[in-house]
Structure 1
Amino acid sequence: MNEPNLPNPDLTAQIAAHSEPMQRLVHEIAKTLVGQDVLVHRLLIGLLTGRHLLIEGVPGLAKTTAVATLAKAIDADFQRLQFTPDLLPADLIGTQVYRPQQQAFVVQKGPIFANLILADEINRAPAKVQSALLEAMQERQVTIGGETFRLPDPFLVMATQNPIEQEGTYPLPEAQMDRFMMKVVVDYPTRDEELVILSRMSRSRPSVDIQSVTTTDEIIAARELVDAVFVDQQIAEYIVDLVMASRKCEAYGLSIGPWIQFGASPRATIDLTLAAKANAFLNQRAFVLPQDVKAIAMDVLRHRVMVTYEAEAEEKTSEDVVSMILDAIPVP
């Protein structure tokens, strides 16, 4: 595919300049995190698009560490919320508190009023708390005692969940899962990476001094350039075809209809486009290539394609379905 003629010839230079803070973030996070390049890359995409991430992996893979380190490397407000079965919505968004001195109720804001929110083990909280969080994610505002409060900008929720301990959990419904731009699955480190982890962290008090290397203003400025990244009509049609193939697979020559219960929503089309633009930005390009779409399509679609019992009986997962779609749809 030929490089498109961009309407703004200076855009590439602007992107190169504004992507430099992202490179500083990667370098700073690497002081603590070993490997997990994909996770760090997806966290940056979330920052650049203002969309939320769901991170899944077994315990001990540094999911929480990755998000906490990212927050330290940004001059921004950060709150870590440990979700538990006894958590209440008021513990998240805040409530009205009576002040005897003033003889009136005043609003006590909750920890949701921060730029970066780490929702640790989100599937351990009951439905009311999950709904309160997801409403804040969607509306970027909360209501306390009839008064509406805007959340800060940028506002990014990074939720983690454990796939193996299901006792005492409240799995996120499919409609709420759709609120997350990407579901990132974190895998075990390689042997060499684990050796580095051992040498770096096998101390009673491993300490790494993480410095703040960027600001929220720089992130917001970078977002404006991400919005300006060019998407060719062929790329747009490719994205739409990928999402449509998850709903009407027969129209695309795929015989996997009995495996799909629900396909991806229109929100997936928007998120896939935004993520591809952010991926191009991180590669210092002012236009999207098909490789940008394919690089992040699995993370954008895996939690949005619901498989049937028939697929489960044949040991087929949503990732298998997405892989087949990616192989079947011609790349422009």
Structure 2
Amino acid sequence: MNSREKINKLKEEIAKGVIGQEEMVNSILIGLLTSGHILLEGVPGLAKTTTVKAVALAIDLNFKRIQFTPDLLPSDIIGAQIFDMKTSEFKIKKGPIFTNLLLADEINRAPAKVQSALLEVMQERQVTIADDTFKIEAPFLVLATQNPIEQEGAYSLPEAQLDRFMFKIVVSYNTKEQEYEIAKRVTMNSFEQINKAIDKNDLEELKKEVKDIHIDKELEDYIIDIIDASRNPKNYGLDDLVDIIHFGASPRATIDMFKAVKANAYLRGNDYVSPIDIAMLAKDILRHRIILSYEAMAKEINVDDVIQKILEKIAIP
């Protein structure tokens, strides 16, 4: 199979286990192609775990899930040094972080130390247990889920930790037609078996091809302008956002945008990036990185609306 056939086959296999939720599936594939982690926000029951499992099966990757709770410890994630009574020696017991796809469920219910331990591994892609350091095998992708902040017992992640995620995807409900199909298949147990479409070696080849996707200098400048407008709105004639934005997007947003738009163009079957790719991903990349002021909260201004204003103001090349 050529690369296009592999991508199509991969999407077909994932679709056997997941009805709808195209944006979530697409973001996971972009994350795998660019080594970017993903934060999924939505109420329970929206097929987040099912989607990750389907991707793991279709690419023959290891998958583990951690349910985050207030009493979780860092060692529950990364592992610990334990004493073996039989041999009278200390041994390393590796935690669930040693996998390819890790679903960190309800990350915003865990203590700060646990969140920090996970996010450190996300950044460094290695784990230190006692005196030993272990590399995390590639590919390694964390998909963290969080309930909407207003739900009881949930706490917002610190801005510095949020910045480690390439995307923040707001997972919405399926359409009525999709929900009917889901209910029908579940009650009849008629979901098809998901088969391996590609393997790790194929994924590495696809990642190399993504890096070769062309992006014009004008589009790179366009991305820079979008990010800069979130920091200096007055310079772009966005005076109404000066008191609305408290902090703009970080340099990681620029890096992630450069990588993600290439992968999105690739998944769409193009060998070049277009303004459409930037428009498709801008909100997912920026919504967790732009911090609004108290005035914005008082006026009930949504961060997605702020991003939309920036996109409408910056001229498309």
Q: TM-score range by the shorter chain?
A: over 0.9
Q: For the residues of structure 2 that align with 1:198 and 1:207, how far apart are their CA atoms? A: 11
Output one character per residue of 1:133-191: Cα deviation in whole Å (capped at 9) or x when no partner.
00000000010002111001010001111116632223211110000000011111112
1:227 is aligned, of 177, 189, 211, to 211
1:31 matched to which residue of 2? 16
Relative to the length of structure 2, the TM-score reads 0.96
Q: For the residues of structure 1 that align with 2:28 and 2:197, how far apart are their CA atoms? A: 16
Name the Cα RMSD after superposition: 1.5
2:126 matched to which residue of 1? 141
* Matched letter for residue 223 of structure 1: K
2:196 matched to which residue of 1? 212
1:108 is aligned, of 93, 102, 110, to 93
2:316 matched to which residue of 1? 331
1:240 matched to which residue of 2? 224
Q: Which runs of 5+ in 2 are unaligned?
A: none
1:124 matched to which residue of 2? 109
* Matched letter for residue 323 of structure 1: Q
**Percent of pairs with identical residues:** 52
Q: For the residues of structure 2 that align with 1:212 and 1:80, how far apart are their CA atoms? A: 20
1:193 matched to which residue of 2? 178
Q: For the residues of structure 1 that align with 2:238 and 2:83, how far apart are their CA atoms? A: 61
Output one character per residue of 1:34-82: Cα deviation in whole Å (capped at 9) or x when no partner.
1111111111111111100001111221112111211122211111111
Q: For the residues of structure 1 that align with 2:6 and 2:148, how far apart are their CA atoms? A: 33
Q: For the residues of structure 1 that align with 2:217 and 2:191, how far apart are their CA atoms? A: 49
Q: For the residues of structure 1 that align with 2:194 and 2:250, how far apart are their CA atoms? A: 39
Output one character per residue of 1:64-111: Cα deviation in whole Å (capped at 9) or x when no partner.
211121112221111111111111110100000112333321111111
Indicate conservation of the 8 Å contact 2:227/2:254, yes or no.
yes
* Matched letter for residue 202 of structure 2: E
Number of equivalent positions: 316
* Matched letter for residue 26 of structure 1: K
Matches for 1:293-308 after TM superposition, within 5 Å: 293-308=278-293
Q: For the residues of structure 1 that align with 2:107 and 2:194, how far apart are their CA atoms? A: 26
